[in-house]
Structure 1
């Protein structure tokens, strides 16, 4: 049955990539959460999407130019400022929480613009420390980074993210030892999903927010999809399941 992955948590009702958003995704019944990781000036792993803090916080400038202490003084709630103040979480905080539940953790390495030396090593070290290797998927638009992750930790699943069509993506995934692919949902027609899964490659399109697109992916039994609206997706999945249950 298609899994529902909360994109940066339940990011339409709580500030993205924050603990309240991840906790809400759990309450919404999501099977997993998708997070983005970068490094601070002092080499700590933090959970934030953009290379700059401007859009999501009350600060300005690049993540890489802040120490962890400086970053955590910022309010990471630009979208719903009247609700509450929240901090940018560390990967350690997420892992400490994830071991208390059964959710899968999709970690996107944000190293396409800023190279972040040793990001892969540091992320893998923490995954192993918390013993969640079998519940984590490492993904990135930087496919060199994905290959590096596989070489460092072949036991952890990797998945390249891509926006435009790749010819026979299951062959490409196999060539870089990835067990999954994360295409943009428009680059994932049913035939591609079915052929990839037939060849042992998990398919998890992003960012699937319209009901008609969710329905298509559930009906084709796609491995999973990444959405800003996990609650809506879970409800739809349950509704469709009832229809098909005799």
Structure 2
């Protein structure tokens, strides 16, 4: 069965990478989450996609220049006028604590392409182990050095390189860096690539899949998972296909 992973939570309706978006994704039946992790000036792990807070919050500046206390004062839901209360940027440990109460998987993306946050991988791994979530976490990054480093530190936790472009025999590449999957842009994941990868024992989880036709294609071909902004749509389409088959 193709798993439905909510991209930054239920981000088509709620502020991305917030506890609200994660909780709502669970409510509509998503099998898991995809979220992004960065580090504050004082070394706290926070869940936010951009290197700057400008787009998603009412603040300005780089994540790395804020302390945890300062970044927590920002409103990550300020663009959504229908929200009655402020949405904070979550701490990664808050999300992990919440995950203890359900069975969702969680794809943690290391946002360390622009700023190589020193020691971030070690801190995230320590947190995963603290909450005993090893079997439910997948680490991914566009920084493949980080993926390799993570695998060497925690071989028991699944890793998957992110691929923006098509790659020749990506399952061979994934195996070569000891990853058990890869996360391509959905346009770089034609049926043949998906089939060959899965036949080779390598998981394929394309991003960011929002078109119904693409969702249908991926579910029908037996893709491992898809990462989508609209988990409800994904869950509904999967249900329809299962009823028909």
**Following the alignment from structure 2 to structure 1, what is the Cα–Cα distance between the partners of residues 165 and 233?**
26
The aligned residue for residue 86 of structure 2 is: 85
Whether contact under 8 Å (2:40, 2:65) holds in the other structure is: yes
Q: Deviations over 1:140-192 (max 9, x none)?
A: 00000000000000000000001101100010000000001000000000000
For residues 1-246 of structure 1, the aligned pairs below 5 Å read 1-83=1-83, 84-244=85-245
* Aligned counterparts of 1:54 and 1:4: Cα–Cα separation in 2: 29
**1:81 shift after superposition:** 3.2
Separation in structure 2 between the aligned mates of residue 227 and residue 239 of structure 1, nearest angstrom: 17
Contact 2:142 2:163 in 1 (8 A): yes
Secondary structure of 1:92's partner? helix
* Deviations 1:74-128 (CA, angstroms, capped at 9, x unpaired): 0011331331311000000000000110000100000000110001000000000
RMSD: 0.6
Describe the superposition over 1:170-220 as per-residue Cα deviations: whole angstroms up to 9, x where unpaired. 100000000010000000000000000010100000000000000000000
Determine helix, strand or coil for the equivalent of 1:154: coil
Contact 1:56–1:77 (CA under 8 A) maintained in structure 2: yes
1:243, 1:205 → 2: CA distance? 24
> CA separation in 1, counterparts of 2:13 and 2:190?
29
Q: Which runs of 5+ in 1 are unaligned?
A: none
**2:36 aligned counterpart, secondary structure:** strand
Name which of structure 1's ranges 71-80 and 3-12 shifts more when overlaid on structure 2.
Answer: 71-80
TM-score, length-normalised on structure 2?
A: 0.99
Answer yes or no: is the 8 Å Cα contact 1:182–1:204 preserved in 2.
Answer: yes
Cα distance in 1 for residues equivalent to 2:20 and 2:164: 29
* 88-97 or 72-81, which deviates more: 72-81
Could you state the TM-score of these two structures normalised by the residue count of structure 1?
A: 0.98
Size of the aligned set, in residue pairs, is: 244
> Which deviates the most, 221-230 or 78-87?
78-87
Shift of 1:13: 1.1
Structure 2: unaligned runs, 5 residues or longer: none
